[in-house]
Amino acid sequence: MTSAKNLLLQTLKHLGVFALCRALTRRRPRILCYHGGSIGDESEFNAKLFYPRGLLEQRLLWLQRKGFVPAGLDDLDPASVRAASGTPVVITLDDGWYSSATDLLPVLAQHGHRPVLYLATNVFMQGTPVLDVSIRYILWKSALATVVLMDLDENLDGAYDLGKTADRARLCDLAEQWLAPWLHDVPRIHTMLETLAAALGVSANELDLPSRRFSYMRRDELIAAAAAGCRIELHGHAHLYAPGKAAQNRQDILACRQHIVNAGLPYPRHYCYPSGEYDAEAAQLMREIDIATATTCIPGLVDPNRDEERAFLPRFLDGGSISMIEFEAEMSGTLAMIRKITGRAVDPVPTRQAPEA
């Protein structure tokens, strides 16, 4: 965030605008989004994907002091919001990272939150580290300016200038293709990732795959999380929502639901659009397959009186790169107000296009 924006927000807070906005929007629930925790230095590598435990503690303490109360996705109806003792805030965790269980869920439980974990079931079932994230971490960790890979794979071997975005992207794509055939062989994937890391000057200890920092939770861990109050919900099987392809999206979500139920978890009825992708047809699809709510990645305040929004709930993606003053501005409703005044507010509910004559 720029220093000018920081100064503006600090001034607005000092003038009481944050407190006023919180009061005016106290009946507008908020939904927060996180992904994994940070077992090692992952939060320095990707601040939106991996979140430090201490920073989450700071956020939750602020929410508590300012009158926010833990809520679930089933508490967003007008009656529940009116009955709440404060402003409802729903905490969601995307994907199913193992570090969510080790670093985030315990902190959330200590503060009375019963979060929602949207599980992407394909990666969960494979049990291997997430390939693209692991490869990109290796590249981030590497101190090499150039590298020549040899004796790995005929398509992957070759010279790469790691200072060039195109070469880094090419290396990532080819490395994923090299690893893809072994996605259900965890030991082999570990060995191959460590081999790639070594070629890029990153040791196995630095990569630290045994910590499961780049892996998802296992079945027993999901069941334990659910027993402790975390709802395991839908993030798609392939972690993909394809706009304009209703049949494909239906099949993917139903497959995700079936895998969750087969794992011995409660029947899921809440969905999160993977990567925030959706279309106007999503609302009808959600109704047809018994989805109660679906969350987007568009920041904003929930309107409990707007039924059509339940298929496109606004949600704020918090991250380590978000300063505390920006977090306060978003959660107080101040940034929503500024977006509205400046015409930059985005309605998460898409407009259905009228059919051509």
Q: What is the pLDDT of residue 357?
A: 38
Which pair of structure tokens corresponds to residue 265?
A: 């978890």
Q: Residue 280's beta-bridge partner residues?
A: none
Residue 81 burial by CB count (10 A; 0-12/13-18/19+): exposed, middle or buried?
Answer: buried
Taking the C-alpha atoms of residue 307 and residue 156, their distance in angstroms, rounded to an integer, is 50
**Residue 1 in this model has a pLDDT that exceeds 60:** no
Residue 167 burial by CB count (10 A; 0-12/13-18/19+): exposed, middle or buried?
Answer: middle
**Residue 140 in this model has a pLDDT that exceeds 90:** yes
What is the C-alpha radius of gyration for the chain, rounded to an integer number of angstroms? 21
**Residue 324 in this model has a pLDDT that exceeds 60:** yes
Mean pLDDT of 133-146: 98
pLDDT digits (tens, 9 = 90+) for 244-284: 999 999 999 999 999 999 999 999 999 999 999 999 999 99
**Residue 356 in this model has a pLDDT that exceeds 60:** no
pLDDT band at 353 (very low <50, low <70, confident <90, very high): low
pLDDT band at 352 (very low <50, low <70, confident <90, very high): low
Taking the C-alpha atoms of residue 23 and residue 42, their distance in angstroms, rounded to an integer, is 37
Residue 12 burial by CB count (10 A; 0-12/13-18/19+): exposed, middle or buried?
Answer: buried
Spatial contact of 74 and 297, defined as CB atoms under 8 Å apart:
no
Residue type, 117: L
Domain 3-126+216-342 in CATH 3.20.20.370? The answer is yes
Mean pLDDT of 222-244: 97
**Residue 354 in this model has a pLDDT that exceeds 60:** no
**Residue 345 in this model has a pLDDT that exceeds 90:** yes
Q: Which of 180-184, 217-221, 288-292 has the lowest mean pLDDT?
A: 180-184
Residue with tokens 């009955």: 83
pLDDT band at 3 (very low <50, low <70, confident <90, very high): confident
Taking the C-alpha atoms of residue 176 and residue 110, their distance in angstroms, rounded to an integer, is 39
Mean pLDDT of 64-86: 96
pLDDT band at 163 (very low <50, low <70, confident <90, very high): very high
Prediction pTM value: 0.95
